[in-house]
Structure 1
Amino acid sequence: MNTKLPYHRYHLALLTSLYDTLRAQSVLMAQVPEESNLLFLERFEELIAQLEAGDQDALYSGQEVICQVITRYPQVAHLIPRDLLWYFGGDCLHYMPDEEIAQYQLLDEHQAEAEARGEEFDWEQARQLLMQQAVRGS
């Protein structure tokens, strides 16, 4: 059984939602030439297709796409789910504070422990619980 499949589906759904949000943002068209926007959105769409097909090399492309969203469209960077920064890793981690990275590392450890026991791991639920504990602890 592939226990990572729900994890990837969850992040693919976040990525697809981000894509739909960016497409709907008319503010993007005003600050970047239209042709450039269209090419970027095509590349974003290709990334989603590659991930849907299970292409693990697409994770590297994902780093580039997410980082480009932040640099090209800073006015919508806050719309990027933090989970996507962690999922793609690499250069995306530069946009996360150390405390947040530590929380995601803990989540990864919990996931690995659950998988070692042969148990399902609900990433989204575990993340929400951990973030709630962090808020209460501060």
Structure 2
Amino acid sequence: MATPYIDHQLVLLDHLRGILVALGEAEQVPDESHALFLERYDELRLELPIDPVSSAYLGQDLMCQIIQRYPQIAHLIPRDLLWFFGGDCLHYMPDEEIDLYQALEERRFEAEENDEPFDWNQEKQLMAMSLQDSNKH
């Protein structure tokens, strides 16, 4: 059931996992609990393409735990993951960013309804650039 949108999230999850592994290798976190956390993280990675809806709760929980357990890397969590999992993750996003992602989501749904291609990263860059241009005026 993977879609290009889900595939994008999986790439981001893989990137974030690399950061988490590096954190453990640098011995900046307790080893045993970190290993258990990575096991749960891997469960999410496996479950997401199969059942995105039910894995959303685990994703929310894990993203919030990363922010709480590993504050030194909280700024490295891809914002797309916070938006994707939603729920409590949205507490870590400012209102302006939520507005940007909401508009981006609406464009994605519109493209899907019209069977048009949609490149999440490209659209996000275009929207961010137009936002910057409107803020300059």
Instruction: Provide the TM-score with structure 1 as the length reference.
Output: 0.90
Q: 1:88 to 1:133 in 2, by over 3 A?
A: same
2:41, 2:62 within 8 Å by CA — same for their partners in 1? Answer: yes
Aligned residue number for residue 5 of structure 2: 7
1:28, 1:73 within 8 Å by CA — same for their partners in 2? Answer: no
* Aligned pair partner of 1:101 in 91, 98, 102: 98
Aligned residue number for residue 86 of structure 1: 83
1:29, 1:37 within 8 Å by CA — same for their partners in 2? Answer: no
Aligned residue number for residue 62 of structure 2: 65
Q: Does 1:75 align with 2:72?
A: yes
Q: CA RMSD in A?
A: 1.8
Q: Does 1:19 align with 2:36?
A: no
1:42-99 alpha-carbon deviations (Å, 9 max, x no partner): 1111110111334531111000000000000000001101111000000000000111
Q: Percent identity?
A: 50
Aligned length, in residue pairs? 135
| Matched residue SS, 2:116 | coil
**Higher-RCO chain (CA-CA 8 Å, sequence separation at least 6):** 1
Q: 1:102 to 1:55 in 2, by over 3 A?
A: closer
